[in-house]
Amino acid sequence: MGWTTLSIDDSGGTLRAIKNDVTNFSFSTPRGVQDVTGVDKSAMERLLLLADFSITLNGVFNDDNASADVHNVFKTVPSTSVAREFNLTVSGQIMGVSGTPTLLFTDYSLNRAQDGSLTFTAPGVLANGVVPTWST
């Protein structure tokens, strides 16, 4: 299933479509949990806490198109501390419509394999406290 949208801000705040250079990715939307079990209970009691979001993008190195390629989006990760907006859309389902969650990317690693392929990994975490939400 092809993704309609996979875009990440570059360090200047311009949303760039990078879905062509991303070969696979994973993301999660976990909730924190607090144990509130009293000594009077024989089973666990818990409360749901804050929502979170994390993503790891993997793909092929591309520096062909000066402003819209994946390398120009992520090359500033080691030298800038900017929160980046993102758009994920698949099958009409959009992540982040109720406000715009932003991400801090924590690494941009490149791997040159023995066969000569050059690939990247870019992990990101929620930055601004906006709850990640799916909507149509």
Q: What are phi and psi of 72, to 5 degrees?
A: -70, -20
Residue 103 banded pLDDT, cuts 50, 70, 90: very high
Q: CA 29 → CA 26, 41, 94, 131, distances in Å?
A: 11, 30, 14, 9
The set of residues, in sequence order, having a beta carbon less than 8 Å from that of 106 and lying 6+ positions away, is: 77, 123, 124, 125
Domains and their CATH numbers in the chain: 5-135 (2.30.110)
- Rounded to an integer, what distance in angstroms lies between the CA atom of residue 135 and that of residue 39? 41
Cβ atoms within 10 Å of 18's Cβ, excluding its own: 23
Residue 44 banded pLDDT, cuts 50, 70, 90: very high
* pLDDT above 80 (res 1): no
Contact, 70 vs 22, CB < 8 A? yes
| Predicted TM-score of the model (pTM) | 0.89
